Copies of this chain bind each other. A is one copy, B any other.
Amino acid sequence: MADRAAYIAIDWGTTNRRAYAMTRAGVVLDSLHDDRGVLALKPGAYPAEIAALRERLGAYPVLAVGMVGSNRGWLEAPYVSAPATLDRLADACTEAAPGVHIVPGIALRNGKRPDVMRGEEIQILGAIRAGAAPPTALFCQPGTNNKWIETVDGAITDFTTVMTGEIYALLRGQGVLAGMLDGPVADGAPFRRGLRRGIASHNVAATLFEVRAGVLLGRLAPDDAAAYASGILIGADIGTREDLARRSVHVVGSGALSALYAVAITEAGGTPVLVPDGSTTAGIHAIWSLRA
């Protein structure tokens, strides 16, 4: 007899949504992936979205993570303060509707520097739970915004959000560098030269203008400008951390951006260890099990 589903897990982000029919043992029986992220939905749309997902995956309880629990989503699931474990997250879920719970994000509240995350924590803690990363580690999670995340014994203790990808995308779209950044971004000599400039930079807002000046003065080939600019921004991001030398950094993700961060971490003297995507369901299932 085939396993039956026990609940629906949803990774509900800003622009994407992934939903999974999960067994009691954490096996994914069915899934869907669409673009009905929170930016695509009106505030009142969520009950109907849940009904449609249940129509598709079965009439099960729902456990959701990510921006669905933000002030732009369904309803705000208040942040848990770091240090935070899967147990703390499981205890702090918010009921959004009958049988629908939202897992909170994590905040740095009391230090010198505030920071927040909502969704990334599930992937990190899921990777640890699944044995894909050690319980005490430094993680780098590239994306629109990169997150540096430190864990100790399975608790997220500290993290820093860096707006690297977002600033790159904005500069590519508009302003004095627009039109110069449409070439390929891949590892190679221009990317690595950019990395070294970025790591040494005291202010990325100054160093980035060297892309324009370099092209205008014939010191940078136009086809190399995108990779060089990406190198500067990722180098500055990496250079923010002064603790990478001879340290292992667990880089989350299997795409091209994660590979570029791995190159950058090596350039800064660290040792990148790639952690494949796909630990989010492990993280959600751990929370479901703790709540069961």
Chain A residues within 8 Å of B, Cβ to Cβ: 71, 79, 107-109, 113-116, 145, 160-164, 166-167, 169-171, 173-176, 202-206, 208-210, 212-214, 216-217, 219-220, 233, 236-237, 239-240
In angstroms, Cα B107 to Cα A204, docked, is: 20
Do B162 and A114 have beta carbons less than 8 Å apart?
Answer: no
A239 to chain B, nearest CB (A): 7
In angstroms, Cα B210 to Cα A113, docked, is: 7
Do A116 and B202 have beta carbons less than 8 Å apart?
Answer: no
Do B160 and A108 have beta carbons less than 8 Å apart?
Answer: no
CB closest residue in chain B, given A109: B217
- Knowing A107-B217, A114-B219, A116-B216, the reply to whether A209 touches B240 (Cβ < 8 A) is no
Do A205 and B175 have beta carbons less than 8 Å apart?
Answer: no
Do A203 and B237 have beta carbons less than 8 Å apart?
Answer: yes
Do A163 and B217 have beta carbons less than 8 Å apart?
Answer: no
Enumerate chain B residues within 8 angstroms of A145, measured Cβ to Cβ: 176, 209
Do B115 and A209 have beta carbons less than 8 Å apart?
Answer: yes
Enumerate chain B residues within 8 angstroms of A160, measured Cβ to Cβ: 206
In angstroms, Cα B168 to Cα A174, docked, is: 12
